[in-house]
Chains A and B, each alone.
Chain A
Amino acid sequence: MSTRSERDGGAPRHRSPGRFVGSALVQLVLVAYGIIVVYPLLIMLASSLKTTGEIFANPLSLIPETVRLVNYVDAWNQANFGTYFRNSIFVCAVSVALILFFGSMAAYVLARFSFPGNRAIYLLFLAGFMIPIRLAIVPLFIMMRDLRLLDTLWSLILVYVAGGMPFTIFLMVNFFRHIPRDLEDAAVLDGAGPFQVYYQIMLPLVRPALATVGLFHFLSVWNDFFFPLIFIRSENLRTVPLGVSTFFGEYTNDWALMFAALSISIMPVIAVYLLASKQFIAGLTSGAIK
């Protein structure tokens, strides 16, 4: 029952030994779980620099006996990571750009113009929020086949852009509605058309929302495994998660290479997160708790 003594953490009101023990306990729990989060990732990094023999002999050490960067070179070359990265970057860049463009444009219309069906269309978009898109994979697969898009990166892009609409529109409509109308009114009086108003006036004002939506979709597109698994056959069209998956099927005994491959695939995402974690969390929280 340390709860009472821990209250307010650092705020000193009644400094008692019980309070001190309590907050030490809390810190212990937090640090312990922090270790559970980080330690596996550190083991992955350390193992990626060891020989497979050393991993087997000494799986927990975080400092390799000799640093074998060559694992990365081998994994990179044998798994064709260069190709996978190029594919993932291409799919991500095109998908996120189109999601932001199409989504914000549609959200602007839904937020600012009243016309019959506005509400229905908005709700239709929101419905996409609640249904797992992958359940529609059978007809999507057939559709891509008939469109001759199967085994192309465009099949992924089309699904990601369409699937990105609900979250984008949901968040952006909220943002647009909170922007005062005066600016638009002035621009319209000056003879600006709706697209000009959207592009030159509104878009710069919702930049933070665009950043949140963009970052979020970057991660979900970059990390997606399901659609590449279904749509992509050719080795030279694999995205990073699919590439890692097939690599694991082929090199099951070479642990050093597998850890190197995992590290290669995880690093860009961790890097993005370390750079932008504050914006990411703030953005998600503000989007959620407005």
Chain B
Amino acid sequence: MRVFRFLRRPSVAADADTSLPGRRGRAVAIKQHTYLLMLVPGLAMYLAFIIWPFANTIRVSFYNWSGLGPLDDFVGLGNYTNLFNRAPINRQFSNALSNTAQVFFLSTVLSTFVGLGFALILSRKIPGSRFYQALYFMPNTLSVVVVGFLWNLLLNPQFGAVNAVLRSIGLDSLARPWLGDPDFALPSIVAVSAWANMGFPVLIFLAAILGIPSDLLEAARLDGASELRVVATIVIPLLWPTLITLIVLNFIASVNTFELVFAMEGSEGGPFFATDVLGTLFYRMAFGGVGGVYAGTGLGGAAALATLMLVIVLPVSVFVIIYQRKVSHEY
């Protein structure tokens, strides 16, 4: 879900601080509470199709359950300990966990930090700055799975455009089966993901940089500070909250990685599970394991993995909200 990628510092702060309409003015003093009816459709749908299933995920994770019949075989933490102890699922779990962590670190560098670099460049009234911003953002609008299939073709060892480009500029030695080589498959996927997402960090960093009061920067420049110094001592420190937020959002997105791997390497995260991430493992446990290596874990096992992923993501999310709130008070 891309939705939470749009949570950003200043807006959260605005919410936290704006007091609710406490003044019961004449206008609001409507005797009946009919207005509450207007809240019902949205809230009911949200409770029924988001909150309730989430609560149920946690509940199911404590049961051995095939998906049919009553939920009555309580196994406590059994589904969780399976993930750590029971072969072969434990190996796949730790492998997927470590791959997911790699996705996070690589993509933080490739998209968040590179995006910061582009934003710093674009913030300096470069001719065509808006054009570049819009251009870089374009792949963000594409379906991730379609992007995955496109790059699947482009990275093809024999006929793909990437190797063709490398050969045409004499770098034959670099041409390789990108997606078939266990050492390069995951970095390739992260690179594609950076290609697809670059516009987002650029957009957010750029907005944050342009929001820095210009007299602050001018003053430093008049004092003779070099541009590099201005960036290092004024711009970067002021971008810190934005940077943290984007890193955390990238963390959440990384834990959610699924479509790209699915489209480029299949649901088993090939080659030899080199690109298997928590998302693909979860998919197999929940929907792809009929009679396979996952026989026995059932939907309870999948729910346990989902709950664990939630446990990984939630504290980080809560941290961002609290952190942003704290930062916003400093302004």
Contacts and interface: CB of A to CB of B under 8 A. Distances in A.
Interface of A: 1, 3-4, 6-11, 23, 26-27, 29-30, 33-34, 36-38, 40, 43-44, 55-56, 59-60, 101-103, 105-106, 108-115, 118-119, 121, 124-126, 128-143, 158-159, 161-167, 169-171, 173-174, 177, 181, 184-185, 188-189, 193-195, 198, 216, 219-220, 222-226, 230, 240-241, 244-245, 248, 255, 258-259, 262, 265-266, 269-270, 272-273, 277-278, 280-281, 284-285, 287-290
B14 A290 contact: yes
Contacts of B183: none
A136 B57 contact: yes
B146 interface: yes
Contact of B160 (A59, A121, A124, A241): A59
B227 A3 contact: yes
Contacts of B67: 138, 142
B139 A136 contact: no
Given A112-B21, A158-B49, A258-B149, A7 B310 contact: no
Given A193-B34, A225-B144, A266-B146, A130 B321 contact: yes
Q: Is the interface of B mostly helix, strand, loop or mixed?
A: helix
B136 interface: yes
A189 B38 contact: no
Given A26-B126, A158-B45, A167-B6, A56 B159 contact: yes
Nearest to A259: B153
Given A7-B227, A59-B159, A124-B46, 11 more contacts: A26-B121, A37-B136, A37-B138, A126-B321, A128-B51, A137-B53, A170-B7, A188-B26, A195-B38, A288-B11, A289-B10
A272 B138 CA distance: 11
Contacts of B7: 129-130, 170
Interface string B282-312: 1000110000000000010011001101100
B48 interface: yes
Nearest to B151: A40
Interface string B7-45: 110110011001011101111101001111011011101
A269 B143 contact: yes
A9 B120 CA distance: 12
Given A43-B161, A165-B42, A194-B38, A174 B1 contact: no
Contacts of A289: 8, 10-11, 207-208, 211
29 contacts: A3-B227, A10-B126, A11-B125, A26-B126, A27-B127, A40-B150, A115-B33, A118-B20, A129-B4, A130-B252, A132-B313, A135-B57, A135-B307, A138-B53, A141-B286, A161-B45, A165-B42, A167-B3, A167-B6, A170-B11, A174-B15, A189-B26, A195-B35, A216-B6, A269-B143, A272-B141, A288-B204, A289-B211, A290-B14
Given A113-B35, A139-B57, A245-B263, A10 B127 contact: yes
B135 interface: yes
A113 B28 contact: yes
A133 B2 CA distance: 10
Contacts of A161: 45, 49
B124 A9 contact: yes
Contact of B39 (A110, A188, A224, A270): A110
A40 B228 CA distance: 34
Nearest to B126: A9
A30 B128 CA distance: 10
B135 A37 contact: yes
Contacts of B203: 281, 284-285
Of listed B45, B141, B208, residue having the most chain A CB within 10 A = B141
A106 B43 contact: yes
Contacts of B33: 115
Nearest to B149: A248
A244 B146 CA distance: 7
Contacts of B26: 185, 188-189
Nearest to B125: A9
A244 B149 CA distance: 9
A112 B18 CA distance: 12
Contacts of A177: 18, 21
B113 interface: no
A124 to B, nearest CB: 7
B164 interface: yes
Given A29-B121, A220-B1, A109 B50 contact: no
Interface stretch (B88-96, B174-182, B254-262): B254-262
A281 B134 CA distance: 8
Nearest to A107: B42
B153 to A, nearest CB: 6
Contacts of A101: 41
B56 interface: yes
Contact of A103 (B22, B42, B255): B42
A76 to B, nearest CB: 16
A163 B259 contact: no
B87 to A, nearest CB: 23
B129 to A, nearest CB: 8
B11 A136 contact: no
B82 interface: no
A193 B35 CA distance: 8
A130 B4 contact: yes
